[in-house]
Chains A and B, each alone.
Chain A
Amino acid sequence: MRFDLPTLPAEASALRGEVRAFLQDWAPRWTPEIRARSWMGFDRAFSEALGARGWIGMCWPRAYGGHERSFLERNVVLEELLAAGAPVGAHWIGDRQSGPLILRLASEEVKRRILPGIAAGTLAFCIGLSEPEAGSDLAALRSNAERRGQGWVLNGRKIWTTFAHKSDHMIALVRTAPAPEGGPRQAGLSQFLVDLTTPGITIRPIRDIAGADSFNEVTFDGVELPADALIGAEGKGWAQATSELAFERSGPDRVLSSFPALVDAVEALRGTGGAEQTVGRMVARLHALRGMSWSVAGQLAAGGLPNVEAALVKDAGNSFEQALPERLRELFHAEDLPEGLRRLLDMLAAMAPTFSLRGGTREILRGIIARDLGLR
């Protein structure tokens, strides 16, 4: 377990200024609910504007619409977006997960067709992992793809797919061969690029706790996919999907989800007494967690794969994100709560349980950490 700190690139602070200036024009349009939803907010116009500034796909080669900036510079942009509570959901998955996967493993044709759209903020992606019978036990998934002619035929069902109903593509993990008798169930899984306009796909929104359509059930009924929809190697989908989990787990999106509430609470409490200790403890935690997240970013930028460190950032970060609105709530009498902050905290109360579920539950993460500590 290592948490060495990187040296921030010299361009970082100028870049922060640019992103902040850009966000200032957008911020007045964001309701407390949008700010509380953070990266679970979806706004194509915003993502396109961000793409036009070169702040999506920042580290990718220019040939694919990228900007060849450093991984740490990208991290600066992510922090600024989340700190402001920007609705980044339309490009978040493509930028964080699907794009890098395609860049690494897809055919040249697919890279040229897809990546520039993600970088421009015009192509939205969703993640097709969970199924009704496969949550934490992901390898139990049953959706499958069979070869037919040059291509594939996809059948099965995904669930909890965030923004499937608003996305253009899904990266789906499905079975292409039965698990070997007595062998690991993780064998025989493959990843596919699924164009969500393909016939045979039914997307049914599932209303969430806050009354919004954010996740979905996605049914595949004889969906025909071209040959190059297979991403990477047939049967190697598990390793492909899990090898770079460190990128997903350690980012500022595991630390800052409820930060906008701290900003508003501090503003509301400015000049009053009594909240110092609570605010001080929360800010100290945040400071340490930012350091941990930056440390993992530095190790990733240097080519390392700090998987446990990343799991630690997510677990500790999620706990902070969940504790923050709880502690802030206690600082106010309900009657004195400013209306905007009340709406923000109300939405956060509904969102907070998801922090330690999405992207691997707390229990699963702690299992990973324990194994790496040498337990089991």
Chain B
Amino acid sequence: MNEIAEQLDRLLAARVTPELLRAAEAGAFAADLWGELEAMGLPLALVPEGLGGAGLGFAEAAPLWLALGRHAAPVPLGEAMLGAGLLGAAGVAPPTGVLTVATSASAVPFGRDAAHVVLGAVALHRHRLAAARTNLTREPRDAVDPGAALAEGTLPDRHGPRAIRFGLALLRAAQMAGAVEKALALAVDWANTRQQFGRPIGRFQAVQQQLAAMAGEVAAAGTAVTLAARAADARGLDGAAFEIACAKIVAGEAATLGAATAHQVFAAMGITEEHELHRLTRRLWAWRDEGGNEKSWAEEVGRDVLARGGAALWPDLTARDVA
């Protein structure tokens, strides 16, 4: 974790309380938290310094996105960073206020709370709410009427026409990596505390083996995200299509196994409204499907690999290593 990510992690640990999450999931936007994040300059983290941002790369941003996942932060900070970063890359000055980004106007994260949305490749819109919706995260995923673009820019080729899709996939993969890591920590803690048959359940090999396997998934997801973020810095979002797809696939698979394992270890306690586990696992389940699910990305990767043939596979894989 870099220094800004540690700062953000500490802030979220203090602010994202069960009460805040409960209120947010009931529809109250966490405006105070957003205000603090804005005061730290975080929404503009990916924006070039010339346009008033911090000029961070994706590799520096990814740890922030993991922190957002770890704490199930109920604000569109990742979306704002991505949207502002892409506007900046297209030479458009990002607006002030809550900003979000979406691949489609029919499911806009925090659409009702955001003043602006970034769509296309890329355009800034001051949208209007069309239909309020949520998904399993219990966060807004609203249908909006985008209206005419306020400003439009052209992304450099390295980010390409599908930049928002790639960016959202990377964001959700990073959030999943953070959330599954936290779910593991909670489950380990619980396994050491909960006693049955006169000992902590973490003493039972059956429980240990499952948590160890989950740790492997946590490691794979985190590593795949780091690889993707590094590739995006080196070659742009379009140039990192392969690594981003892999990250979304692996993080999605880790989410599936990790959520199931954590629930198995927590048993009934994890099913309660009161317990924090479901705030992570509901997001893990939903994030798998946002920004393209495992199947759709796997088909894309598989199509490319099969088109290139077996002899090209290893040379292609290693040629992508970031030196």
Q: What residues make up the interface of A, taking CB atoms closer than 8 Å to B?
A: 1, 3-5, 7-10, 12-13, 16, 20, 79, 83, 259, 262-272, 275-281, 283-292, 295, 309, 312, 315-316, 319, 363, 365-367, 369-370, 373-376
A3 touches B301 (CB 8 A): no
With A281-B298, A374-B188, A374-B192 in contact, is A276–B249 under 8 Å at CB? no
Are A264 and B310 neighbours in the complex by a CB distance under 8 Å?
A: yes
Q: Is the C-beta of B197 less than 8 angstroms from some C-beta in chain A?
A: no
B88-96, B157-165, B216-224 - the one binding chain A? B216-224
Q: A288-B227, A367-B205 are in contact. Are A375 and B192 (CB under 8 A)?
A: yes
A292-B209 contact given A280-B249, A281-B294, CB 8 Å threshold: no
Q: Are A366 and B310 interface neighbours, CB within 8 A?
A: no
- Contact between B218 and A279, CB atoms less than 8 A apart: no
Report whether B208 and A375 are in contact in the complex, using a CB–CB cutoff of 8 Å.
yes
Which of A10, A276, A292 makes the CB contact (< 8 A) with B223? Answer: A292
A12–B224 alpha-carbon span in the complex (Å):
21
* Chain A residues, Cβ within 8 Å of B184: 373
The answer for the CA separation of A289 and B188 in the assembled complex, in Å, is: 24
Complex Cα distance A375/B222, Å?
22
- Whether A287 lies near B224 (C-beta < 8 A) is yes
What are the residues of chain B within 8 A of A284 when measuring CB–CB?
Answer: 224, 245-246, 249-250, 297-298, 301
Q: Is A291 within 8 A of B218, CB to CB?
A: no
The answer to whether residues A262 and B313 also contact, given A276-B298, A280-B301, A284-B245 and a CB cut-off of 8 A, is yes
Q: How far is the CA of A288 from the CA of B222 in the complex (A)?
A: 9
Partner of A267, one of B212, B294, B302, B310: B310
A8 and B323 within 8 A (CB): yes
Enumerate chain B residues within 8 angstroms of A319, measured Cβ to Cβ: 216
| Cβ 8 A contact of B216, one of A12, A20, A280, A316 | A316
Bits for B283-323, please: 1 = Cβ < 8 Å to A, else 0: 00000000000110111111101110111011101110111
Report yes or no: A277 in contact with B212, Cβ–Cβ below 8 A. Answer: no
Known A-B contacts A3-B226, A366-B212, A373-B212; A277 and B323 likewise in contact (beta carbons under 8 Å): no
Q: Mark B176-200, 1 if CB is under 8 A from A, else 0.
A: 0000000010001001100000000
Cα-based distance from A374 to B317 in the complex (angstroms): 36
Cβ-defined contact, B223 with A1, below 8 A: no
| B243 interface hit (Cβ, 8 Å) | yes
Contact A366 B298 (CB under 8 A): no
Chain A: CB-nearest residue to B189: A374
Partner of A7, one of B253, B298, B309, B323: B323
Which of A259, A275, A316, A374 has a CB less than 8 Å from the CB of B219? A316
Given contacts A281-B294, A291-B223, A375-B188, contact A12 B321 (CB under 8 A): yes
> What's the nearest-Cβ distance from chain B to residue A78, in Å?
12
Asked if A281 contacts B317 (CB within 8 A), the reply is: no
Residue of B nearest to A4 (CB): B226
Q: How far is the CB of B60 from chain A (nearest CB, A)?
A: 13
Bound state CA distance, A13 and B317, in angstroms? Answer: 12
Sampled A-B contacts (22; CB under 8 Å): A10-B323, A276-B298, A280-B300, A283-B302, A284-B224, A286-B317, A287-B224, A287-B243, A287-B246, A288-B224, A288-B250, A289-B220, A316-B216, A316-B217, A319-B216, A363-B209, A367-B208, A370-B212, A373-B211, A373-B212, A374-B192, A375-B208
Are B323 and A12 touching (Cβ within 8 A)?
yes
- Inside 8 A of B207's CB, which chain A residues have their CB? 375
User: Nearest-CB distance from B312 to chain A (Å)?
Assistant: 9
Given A279-B301, A373-B215, 6 more contacts at CB 8 Å? A262-B313, A265-B310, A278-B298, A280-B249, A366-B208, A370-B211
> In the complex, what residues of B have CB within 8 A of residue A280's CB?
245, 249, 297-303, 305
Instruction: Kindly state the separation between the CA atoms of A79 and B319 in the bound complex, as whole angstroms.
Output: 13
Q: How many residues of B contact A (CB 8 A)?
A: 58
Q: Is the CB of A376 within 8 A of B306?
A: no
Query: Within the assembled complex, what's the spacing in Å between the Cα atoms of A349 and B150?
Result: 60
Cβ A291 vs Cβ B226 within 8 A: yes
B85 at the interface (CB under 8 A from A): no
- The answer on a CB contact under 8 Å between B313 and A366 is no
A266-B313 contact in complex given A3-B226, A285-B250, A370-B209, C-beta closer than 8 Å: yes
**Residues of chain B contacted by A279 (CB below 8 angstroms):** 298, 301-302, 305-306
- Residues in A whose Cβ lies below 8 Å from that of B125: none
**CB < 8 Å neighbour of B322 from A1, A8, A269:** A8
Closest to B226 in A: A5
Minimum C-beta distance from A337 to chain B (A): 15
Q: In this assembly, does B213 line the interface, its C-beta being within 8 Å of a C-beta of chain A?
A: yes
| Chain A residues within an 8 Å CB radius of B69 | none
B191 interface neighbour in A1, A79, A312, A375, Cβ under 8 Å: A375
Q: In the complex the two chains form, what is the Cα distance from A5 to B299 in whole Å?
A: 27
Residue of A10, A266, A272 with highest tally of chain B CB at under 10 A: A266
How many angstroms between the C-alpha atoms of A376 and B200 in the bound complex? 8
Is B279 part of the binding interface, using a Cβ–Cβ cutoff of 8 Å? no
| Chain B positions within 8 Å of A309 at CB level | 219
B294: nearest residue on chain A (CB-CB)?
A: A281
Q: Given the known A-B contacts A5-B230, A263-B310, A265-B310, are A312 and B219 also in contact in the complex, defined by CB atoms under 8 Å?
A: yes
A295 to B322, CA, bound (A): 13
Q: Are A281 and B310 in contact (CB under 8 A)?
A: no
Q: Which residues of the other chain, A, contact B245 by a CB distance below 8 angstroms?
A: 280, 284
Asked whether, in the complex, the Cβ of A292 is within 8 Å of the Cβ of B212, the reply is no
Give the residues in chain A near B191, CB-CB below 8 Å. Answer: 375
B101 → A minimal CB distance (Å)? 24
**Contacts A265-B310, A287-B227, A369-B215; A277 near B295 (Cβ below 8 A):** yes
Contact A312 B215 (CB under 8 A): yes
**How near does chain B come to A183, taking the closest CB pair, in angstroms?**
23
Q: Is B311 in contact with A263, judged by CB distance below 8 angstroms? A: yes
